[in-house]
Chains A and B, each alone.
Chain A
C-alpha cells in the first residue's frame, strides 16, 4: 500500500469537511446533485479498466464489466451535471423575480 495515498485521502477528507458551511436551504438539492456529478469521477477508473494492456484470459468478462462501468459512470456524469444546471437555472430565475 502506498502511504502517500492515505496522506492525500486524509487531507482531502478534511478539506471536504471545511468546504461547505452555511448553505441556503434552496441550494441543498442542487449542491447534492452537483457533488453527485463529481462522484461520477469513478468514470476515470472505468475508462482505465478498458485502457492499457492486460492478460488475454478473461478478457471478455473484463470488457463487459468495463463497458458497463463506463456506461453507468457516464450517465452519472452527464446526467448529473445537466440536471444540476437545470435546477440552478430555475433557481436563478426565481431569485431575479
Chain B
C-alpha cells in the first residue's frame, strides 16, 4: 500500500483539527449541535485514515482486530444504554480513552526499553512518557469510579476516612518522587527500571480512585467533565511522546475547553470547582443532593 508523504499527512491532520474546532463550536449551540458532532466525527475519520496510510502497515491484522472489537463494543454500548444511564456511559468511554493513552505511553516505553535505548534516551523523552501514563491512569481509574458511583456499583455517598488528605498527599509525593527517580537514573539498565515504570502506572491508577471516592454521586457530572479534560491532556501528552501534531492540538482543545465547561457546570450548580472537589472533606452535605 502506498504511504502518504509527511507534508500530505500534516495537511490532512490540519484539516482534521479544523473540523474538531468547528465541531466543538457548533456543539455549544442548540441549532447546530447535532451537525457539529457529525463534523467532528468526520475530522476523526480523516485523522484515522491518515494514520493508517502514514507508513507501511506491519501489523494490519492486529489493527483490524482492535478496530473491529472496539467498534462493535462501542456501537453496542452506545445503542443499548438507557437514556438515563448516558452520563455514566460517557464516564466509561472517557476512561477507555485514558487507558488507551496510558497504553500508547507504555508501548513507547517498551520500544525504548527493548531496543536497549533507555540509557541513551533523554530525560525529556522518559518524562513525557511517564506524564502520559500518569494522566491516562488517573483518567481511567477516576472515570471507572465515577461510572461506579452513578451506576450504583460503588456507594455514591462521599467515602471518607481519617487522614485521607495525608494519604493523598503522600501518594502525590510518592508519584513525584518515583518520576524524578526514574528519569534521573536511566543509566541503570535492567529490570529495575521496568518495575519502577509499572509502579508509577499503579500509583497513577490508585490516585484516580482516591481522587474520586470522597466526592458525592450528585457531583459526578462535574467530575466526569473534569476527567474528560484530563483525557484530552493525556492524549496531548501522548502526542508529545510520538511527535504528532493532531494529538497535541485536539488533546489541548479538549483539555482546555473541558476546564471551561467544568467551571460553567459548577456555576450552573452555584458552586465552585474547589467546593465540588473538596467539599466531601468538610461536610457530608453534598451527598444529599439528588442525581
Write the residues of chain A forming the contact surface with B, with a CB cutoff of 8 angstroms. Answer: 1-2, 5, 8-9, 12-17, 19-55, 57-59, 61-63, 65-92, 95
Contacts and interface: CB of A to CB of B under 8 A. Distances in A.
29 contacts: A5-B245, A16-B254, A19-B28, A20-B264, A28-B268, A29-B221, A32-B224, A32-B228, A34-B24, A36-B97, A36-B228, A37-B41, A37-B44, A37-B93, A38-B253, A41-B246, A42-B231, A42-B235, A44-B47, A51-B63, A53-B58, A62-B110, A65-B103, A71-B73, A74-B67, A77-B74, A79-B74, A79-B78, A80-B74
B176 interface: no
B69 interface: yes
Contacts of B107: 49, 62, 65-66, 69
Given A66-B62, A88-B33, A35 B24 contact: yes
A70 B63 contact: yes
B44 to A, nearest CB: 6
Chain B CB within 10 Å — which of A14, A19, A44 has the most?
Answer: A44
B166 interface: no
A8 B122 CA distance: 22
Interface of B: 17, 20-21, 23-25, 27-30, 33-34, 36-38, 40-41, 43-44, 47-48, 50-52, 54-59, 62-63, 65-67, 69-71, 73-75, 77-79, 81, 83, 86-87, 89-90, 93-94, 96-97, 99-101, 103-104, 106-108, 110-111, 113-115, 122, 124, 221, 224-225, 228, 231-232, 234-236, 238-261, 264-265, 268
Nearest to A40: B97
Contacts of A65: 103, 106-107, 110
B62 A67 contact: yes
Contacts of A90: 83
A94 B59 CA distance: 46
B24 A20 contact: yes
Given A38-B23, A76-B74, 8 more contacts: A23-B28, A32-B258, A38-B20, A38-B40, A41-B235, A47-B51, A47-B52, A70-B70
Contact of A39 (B23, B59, B122, B250): B250
Contacts of B79: 82, 86
A34 B86 CA distance: 12
* Cβ-closest 3 pairs across A and B: A74-B70, A58-B114, A70-B66
Nearest to A16: B256
Contacts of B77: 75, 79, 83
Nearest to A7: B248
Contacts of B78: 78-80, 82-83, 86
Given A19-B25, A41-B247, A73-B100, A13 B59 contact: no
Contacts of B257: 16-17, 19-20, 35
A95 B249 CA distance: 33
A54 B252 contact: no
A16 B97 contact: no
A30 B232 contact: no
